[in-house]
Structure 1
Amino acid sequence: MTKQAPLADGHPLLGSLRDLRDDTLGTYLRAHRSHGDVVRFAVGPPGLRASLYGVFSAEGVQRVLGTDAANFRKENNVYTEIRESVGNGLLTSQDAEYVRQRRMIQPLFTRSRVDAYAGIVHDEAADLAKRWESAPDGTVELSREMDVLTLRAVARILFGADIDTAAGIVGREFPVVGSSVLRRAVAPVRIPRGWPTPANRRTAAAQAELYRICDRIIARRLADADQDARDMITLLTRARDEDGSRLDPEAVRDQVLIFLLAGHETTATALTFALHLLARHPEAQERARAEVDLALDGRPAAAADLDRLPYLTRVFKEAMRLYPSVAIMGRRAVAEAEIDGYAIPAGADVYVSPYVTHRHPAYWQDPDAFDPDRFTPAAEADRPRYAWFPFGGGPRACIGQYFSMLEGVVGLATLLQRHRFAAVDTRVPLGLAMTLQAAGPVRVRLTARGDRP
């Protein structure tokens, strides 16, 4: 018999509003531990109160993202705000438009195409490691440094020769837009974007600057006859659907902004915490470094080396288990559904959380401990498919997940070739913007390996 999901503890008047606003991840974790795999949250004061549902079992996540994906759509406030801020690209589009976009863009993410980007990732990581040689006191703050690394790598892939201008503008303006998305998505009452409040004016100016730089580069590529150009903007302007139609310049811009969002902040978070965890666990760091030295023998890491770096790959996966870049994923139910024996009403907002499910004791022994060997082939085969889902899943799984793995492993290998890391900050508070982020410094002390190239 279908039951009503248990209600999370909350304030008599505001329900879980303040808890979810002030400590979203902690609130979900506590609700799961207290009430189980499906939990109902009352959010907001009477008259404005909404109900949302957290689904935390691997089986429930599979229903939402996989088998019943058609019933759980990207129509909640978060996706509405992303859509209005950075356009209707692959992350936010739906139905026939999503299918059309995915069909046109998929050839840009084939394994052979993505493998060609490994050299860019290596070069940017090697340049960063070189700059670290003059770091004050031999100490660097990882979250800032990894953001620079991944932004420059993705910007080179997207913008080609225009990287320096584009990366500077994106690095300055994207956080403004991202903060606005989160703030507006969780607000009980959203002020219209057209009202000239200080926050709206700041966001509009940042959005206009992002649009301007993308539009300028796209126009240049459309006018360029260079058939050998391989930056992604050029490839997007040349993409064709089955009927021969192209993406118009606005649609190309939407895709570029989504790729910037999904391709740099997410991997920056994963790299930050992978290095942080290695710095806190010297034995794992030395094991990873020994594997890198044996596999590469001092040469640059390439895409073909991923199979030769299984332990380093497991380190990166374990970092994404403990610190998934997209810690919460939301959907809206079209029709009433049943998950794990509980009723989900039509129209309800439903949230799955890699951060919570990745700590579910049914799938993970000692779930808060760092153990890369959770990701040996045998261990992975013993777990449900959706016990680990940092890239989502089902028909809307991230198109760039192989690129993220390539960028992460090549970046880590390049940095480990050149430096040893010791943790300065052993406890790092977490925050949520459009992605999971460190809310405090993530400093490490470096020791350069002078024998490496």
Structure 2
Amino acid sequence: MSAQVPLVAAHPVLGSLRDLRHDTLGAYLRARRDHGDVVRFDAGPPGLRASLYAVFSPEGVQQVLGSQASNFRKENDVYTEIRESIGNGLLTSQDEDYIRQRRMIQPLFTRRRVDAYASAVYGEAVATADRWNSLSEKVVDAAEEMAEFALRTVTRVLFGADIDAAADVVRRNFPVIGESVLRRGVTPLRLPRHWPTPANRRTQAAQRELYAICDRIIAERSATPGEADDMISRLILARDEDGSALSPDAIRDQVLVFLLAGHETTATALAFALHLLACHPEAQEKAHAEVDAVLSGGTAGAEHLDELPYLTRVFKEALRMYPSVAIMGRRSVADSEVCGFHIPGGSDVYVSPWVTQRHPGHWEHPDRFDPDRFAPELEAARPRYAWFPFGGGPRACIGQYFAMLEGVIGLAGLLQRFRLTAPKTEIALQLGMTLRAAEPAHVRLTPRDGARGRVPRRAGTE
């Protein structure tokens, strides 16, 4: 017989509402510490109270995302709002629709295909380093800088020669969409989207502009198929087993998902990787020594990924400590059992890389920065879901390899040129659709004499 899930102690009237709203990450950590690996939060006043379940052990996460994935679906309010805002792409689609999309798009994310984008990544890293070198005061906000780097990289990969126009549209409008999704996704009483409230009008205007730039470029690429080699062109040429193609609207949905999933998420990981290196000079020296030995002042390409194991560990450790998606939600279809506990059907169920990747049962000194945790023998000894920044199971992120390539090649290009120090070791965090710095993550830059990365001959999307 399944056990009842322990209830997190909370306010007698509001339950856990205030804790979850004002310090979600802290509330989750305390819940695991005080109540165990499967917990229930009750939030809200009587009559409006909602229950949600959180699962923190790697074994439980594997059940939710892997072995019982068909029972834990993307049907909660946040996914509904994402679907309404940016369409029904890989992130939100389900069942046969998802399977068909994944089957058609998977060939675009093979290692060989993704490796072709390495020059674009490195080119943007060199452009960032060149701009940093021109600054008179060499102190930058790593969070702001990596947001711009990741934005320009993903728009270059998606849109090719139209990078500047597309990046400007995304830069202005995606924050509006993200704020709307988060606000509406966690509010129990939502006004209809078509009501002309100021917030709805802002969201609709942002949506129209994003749709328009995507539709224009899709139409241009469709008129000259095969002439460009950006991802939109590859989506246009993608075919299912029966020879059918994605419609222009379906292509737009995928592009918007890739922008969402490939922009802020990678930016967060890169920003904290830079800040962690700036705070840990010994680790930074190891990274510099590896980059110098492998690249010898030349360009970084996909062929160097396997030759940069320490830098890869740095990026993985940054993703462990500061997972871009700190909490992942699902909704249960039917009654189920997770780690011996009963989860009722129709419940909101959450797993949290933030908590599981700090679980003291699997990570020694979990708040300490230690890239060597990801030495091959230590990785092999841990449960599969002790580290899952890219999710897992049948809905694992299709762009995981691209994110790792972008992170490692991007860091290599920047570390070639600069030594980093941090005036502040702790950075306040803000949890929105993704985890981000709530204040400037300042890093001081010192140019490294004799270490000069070069822009690859063709820094596009070839």
Q: TM-score, normalised by structure 1?
A: 0.99
Who is 1:417 aligned against? 416
Pairing 1:272–2:271 present: yes
C-alpha RMSD over aligned residues: 0.9
Give deviations 1:390-445, integer Å, cap 9, x for gaps: 00000000000000000000000000000000002211111112111111110000
Who is 2:168 aligned against? 168
Distance in 2, matches of 1:340 and 1:68, equals 12
| Aligned-pair identity (%) | 69
- Deviation, structure 1 residue 26: 1.0
Who is 1:250 aligned against? 249
Who is 2:383 aligned against? 384
Pairing 1:49–2:49 present: yes
Question: After the TM superposition, which segments of 4 or more aligned residues of structure 1 sit over 2 Å from their partners?
Answer: none
Distance in 1, matches of 2:297 and 2:136, equals 26
Pairing 1:339–2:322 present: no
Amino acid at match of 2:16: S
Who is 2:258 aligned against? 259
Who is 2:317 aligned against? 318
Who is 2:204 aligned against? 204
Give deviations 1:112-141, integer Å, cap 9, x for gaps: 000000000000000000000122421000
Distance in 2, matches of 1:381 and 1:157, equals 33
Q: 2:5·2:39 contact (CA, 8 Å) conserved in 1? A: yes
Who is 1:295 aligned against? 294
SS of the aligned residue for 1:229 comes to coil
Who is 2:15 aligned against? 15
Distance in 1, matches of 2:210 and 2:431, equals 22
Who is 2:396 aligned against? 397
Q: 1:55·1:351 contact (CA, 8 Å) conserved in 2? A: yes
Distance in 2, matches of 1:77 and 1:313, equals 35
Give deviations 1:58-80, integer Å, cap 9, x for gaps: 00000000011011000001111
Who is 2:407 aligned against? 408
SS of the aligned residue for 1:137 comes to coil
Distance in 1, matches of 2:46 and 2:443, equals 48
Who is 1:88 aligned against? 88
Distance in 2, matches of 1:308 and 1:395, equals 30
Give deviations 1:352-411, integer Å, cap 9, x for gaps: 000000000000000000000000010001100000000000000000000000000000
- Deviation, structure 1 residue 274: 0.4
Q: 2:275·2:422 contact (CA, 8 Å) conserved in 1? A: yes
Distance in 1, matches of 2:127 and 2:253, equals 30
Pairing 1:111–2:111 present: yes
Who is 2:34 aligned against? 34
- Structure 2: which 5+ residue stretches go unaligned? 453-462
Distance in 1, matches of 2:188 and 2:42, equals 12
- Deviation, structure 1 residue 201: 1.2
Amino acid at match of 2:279: R
Who is 2:457 aligned against? none
Q: 1:271·1:408 contact (CA, 8 Å) conserved in 2? A: yes
Which deviates more, 192-201 or 350-359?
Answer: 192-201
SS of the aligned residue for 1:290 comes to helix
Q: 2:78·2:185 contact (CA, 8 Å) conserved in 1? A: yes
- Deviation, structure 1 residue 9: 2.1
Distance in 2, matches of 1:110 and 1:284, equals 31
Distance in 2, matches of 1:450 and 1:217, equals 42
Who is 1:307 aligned against? 306
- Deviation, structure 1 residue 238: 1.2
- Deviation, structure 1 residue 196: 1.5
Distance in 2, matches of 1:408 and 1:382, equals 24
Who is 1:154 aligned against? 154
Who is 1:452 aligned against? 451
- Deviation, structure 1 residue 205: 0.9
Who is 2:458 aligned against? none
Distance in 2, matches of 1:289 and 1:218, equals 41
Distance in 1, matches of 2:10 and 2:299, equals 53
Distance in 2, matches of 1:9 and 1:438, equals 29
- Deviation, structure 1 residue 43: 1.7
Distance in 2, matches of 1:9 and 1:224, equals 61
Which deviates more, 44-53 or 348-357?
Answer: 44-53
Amino acid at match of 2:117: Y
Amino acid at match of 2:223: A
Distance in 1, matches of 2:405 and 2:286, equals 20
Distance in 2, matches of 1:44 and 1:151, equals 37
Distance in 2, matches of 1:351 and 1:222, equals 40
SS of the aligned residue for 2:99 comes to helix
Q: 2:109·2:398 contact (CA, 8 Å) conserved in 1? A: yes
Amino acid at match of 2:132: W
Who is 1:183 aligned against? 183
Distance in 2, matches of 1:248 and 1:18, equals 44
Which deviates more, 136-145 or 395-404?
Answer: 136-145
Give deviations 1:35-70, integer Å, cap 9, x for gaps: 010010112222221111000000000000001101
Who is 2:362 aligned against? 363
Amino acid at match of 1:94: Q
Amino acid at match of 2:289: A
Q: TM-score, normalised by structure 2?
A: 0.97
- Deviation, structure 1 residue 12: 1.8
SS of the aligned residue for 1:52 comes to strand
Pairing 1:66–2:57 present: no
Amino acid at match of 1:222: S
Which deviates more, 391-400 or 333-342?
Answer: 333-342
Distance in 1, matches of 2:26 and 2:440, equals 20
- Deviation, structure 1 residue 270: 0.4
Distance in 2, matches of 1:76 and 1:377, equals 37
Give deviations 1:228-275, integer Å, cap 9, x for gaps: 411011111111111111111110000000000001111100000000
Distance in 2, matches of 1:4 and 1:135, equals 59
Pairing 1:193–2:193 present: yes
Amino acid at match of 1:58: P
Which deviates more, 186-195 or 82-91?
Answer: 186-195
Pairing 1:349–2:348 present: yes
Q: 1:424·1:442 contact (CA, 8 Å) conserved in 2? A: no
Distance in 1, matches of 2:269 and 2:398, equals 17
Distance in 1, matches of 2:146 and 2:94, equals 32
Distance in 1, matches of 2:241 and 2:338, equals 38
Amino acid at match of 2:192: P
Q: 2:221·2:228 contact (CA, 8 Å) conserved in 1? A: no
